[in-house]
Structures are given as structure tokens and as C-alpha cells.
Structure 1
Amino acid sequence: MATKNLSVYNLESVPAANGMKFGIVVAEWNYEITGALAQGAVDTLTKHGVDEEDIIVKHVPGTFELPLGGQYLAEYSQVDAIILIGCVIQGETRHFDFICAGVTQGATDLNLKYNKPFIFGVLTTDNEQQAMDRAGGKLGNKGDEAAVTAIKMVALQKELK
């Protein structure tokens, strides 16, 4: 688990994101947390030069649906990268394990299928407090980290083309 503030990074290490286009798919389940993560991602993208009209935010019912929502964005929009935002909190059953494994494999498959960055902005925590700590709480906002990762991956792809 993260023990540092996810929102602290070297601003100079992030390329300018002017002209880049991003999709963000947000799970509605645990929306108090995922909404905060999504807002962190949007704020970070705009801070680095992305125009608000170049950010498409779409919602899906839960974390398990993130890969399909991401695939829809890849197929029906002209985004450079897609950030998948969700939150799975451990419960009393193995449901947590299946959801986490499915969304992780789905995100990996999308990266390779579309040759486009699909950023894993999914919290997998033991309890709600850990999630809140990573959604704007004492450990920052993983949405910020996901946005920085997306910018860096798009810049790398453009550099190598």
C-alpha cells in the first residue's frame, strides 16, 4: 500500500499536455470515492495544459464494467489515453478477488489490443478509510497519479512515432 502522498510529484517531470485528449471512465459504485478520484484526474490534466473540452468523462455502474467502458471510448472517440477509475473495498466474501482480477486483466488486455494507454486508477483497499485516504485524504489523490501517468504515456508514444 502507498505510504506516500500520491499527489506529490515533480511538476517538471511531466510533459506539457497541450493538444492531448483523454477519456476517463468512472465507476459509480463507491462514488464518494471514485468521484473524488475523477475530479483529481481532471484537475491534474487541466493543470498540465489539457483543454476541458478534450476530456471525456463517462460513468459505468461498477469497477468490473470499467474495461468495457474503456473499450467503448477507444472505439467511439479520438482520445489518446483512457483512465479507468474505480474502487473495490474488501468485504466478507471473495467477490473482491474476482472483481480485482477481472478489471486488472481487462485493463491489461485493452492496453495491448488498442496500443493505447489505459491507466489503472483503481483503488483496491481493505476498508473505506484507506480508500478515502487515497481519494483526496492524507495520502493525496490517486486520480492525480493516474492523470500524470496518462500524460507521460501519451508523450512517450508520440515521441516514439
Structure 2
Amino acid sequence: MATKNLSEYNFDAVPSAQGMKIGLVVAEWNYHITGSMAQGAKDTLMKHGVSEEDIIIKHVPGTFELPLGGQWMAEYTDVDAIIHIGCVIQGQTRHFDYVCDGVTKGTTDLNLKYNKPFIFCVLTDNEEQQSIDRSGGKLGNKGDEAAVAAIKMVDLKKQF
């Protein structure tokens, strides 16, 4: 369980994101959670200088589809980084395990295949309330954290 507010960070430690183009691939499943994380990511990106027109948002049916949606975004747009936004809540079957394993491996593979940051903004909680708490609730918004990671990774690549 997260012990800190996911939205708390040192603003001054984040480089300017002016001129960056960021893609968000958002799962429609559990959209009351993923939509909130997407909004948090968008707001944080804009707060650090990304223009609204440089934020491309596309939706996929569920979290398992995030890697393919991210691959298409990498192939058909000129974004600097892609944030995968999803939410998988533990149920009574092993479906949770398969979805989590698939999206994790898929996201990792895309980072290496495209030499581009694919940020893992996927909640994998035991119950819905935990996800609500991490998507704008009492523990902040994982979307904020993902946006900061995207900015820092794009900046790091530019330093090389």
C-alpha cells in the first residue's frame, strides 16, 4: 500500500516540458479511475509547459490493450513519451494476474523496442477503494506521478 501522496513532488526538480509532445493511452475499463488519472497527467504536463495540443489522448478497451495502443501511438505519431493509464482490480479469478503480467511485459518491451519512454501508470489494487484513493483520492493521483516520470525521462534522453 502506498504510504505517500502520489501527487506530492518537488516542482523545481522537474525540468521544463516546453516543446515536449506526450501521448496518453487510457483504458476505458474502470474509466471512473483511469479518466481521473488521465486528467491528473494532463494537468501536470501542462503545469510543466506541455501545450494542450501537444498532448495526444487515445483510448483502448482495457488495460491489457495498452501495449498495442502504445505501439500504434509510437508508430503513427511523433510523441516523445507515452503514458499507459490503466486499472486492474483483483477479483476472484486469476484473470488479474494475466492482465497485470501482460501489460507489464508489453510496456517494458515497448520501452526497449522504440527507445522511447513508455510510462507505466497502471494501478493493480486489491479493491476498488484503493484505486480511488490513488486516482485523485486521499493518496493523490498516480497520473501526476506518471507525468513527472515522462518529463524526466524525455529530459534524460535529451541529455545524452
Fold match (TM-score > 0.5): yes
SS of the residue corresponding to residue 39 of structure 2 reads: helix
1:73-104 C-alpha deviation (Å, 9 max, x unpaired)? 00000000000000000000000000000000
The alpha carbon displacement at 1:3 in A equals 1.0
For 1:72 and 1:41, locate their aligned partners in 2 and report how far apart those are by CA, in whole Å.
Answer: 20
Alignment length (residue pairs): 160
Matches within 5 A, 1:120-135: 120-135=120-135
2:36 matched to which residue of 1? Answer: 36
The alpha carbon displacement at 1:27 in A equals 0.1
For 1:86 and 1:126, locate their aligned partners in 2 and report how far apart those are by CA, in whole Å.
Answer: 14
2:27 matched to which residue of 1? Answer: 27
1:51-79 C-alpha deviation (Å, 9 max, x unpaired)? 00000000000000000000000000000
2:139 matched to which residue of 1? Answer: 139
Counterpart residue type for residue 53 of structure 1: E
1:106-126 C-alpha deviation (Å, 9 max, x unpaired)? 000000000000000000000
1:111-151 C-alpha deviation (Å, 9 max, x unpaired)? 00000000000000000000000000000000000000000
1:116 matched to which residue of 2? Answer: 116
Q: TM-score, normalised by structure 2?
A: 1.00
1:47 aligns with 2:47: yes
For 2:20 and 2:29, locate their aligned partners in 1 and report how far apart those are by CA, in whole Å.
Answer: 28
Any stretches of 5+ residues in structure 1 without a counterpart?
none
Q: TM-score, normalised by structure 1?
A: 0.99
For 1:75 and 1:133, locate their aligned partners in 2 and report how far apart those are by CA, in whole Å.
Answer: 34
1:69 matched to which residue of 2? Answer: 69
For 1:97 and 1:60, locate their aligned partners in 2 and report how far apart those are by CA, in whole Å.
Answer: 19
1:103 matched to which residue of 2? Answer: 103
2:158 matched to which residue of 1? Answer: 158
SS of the residue corresponding to residue 42 of structure 2 reads: helix
For 1:86 and 1:44, locate their aligned partners in 2 and report how far apart those are by CA, in whole Å.
Answer: 18
What is the alpha-carbon root mean square deviation over aligned residues? 0.3
2:15 matched to which residue of 1? Answer: 15
Any stretches of 5+ residues in structure 2 without a counterpart?
none
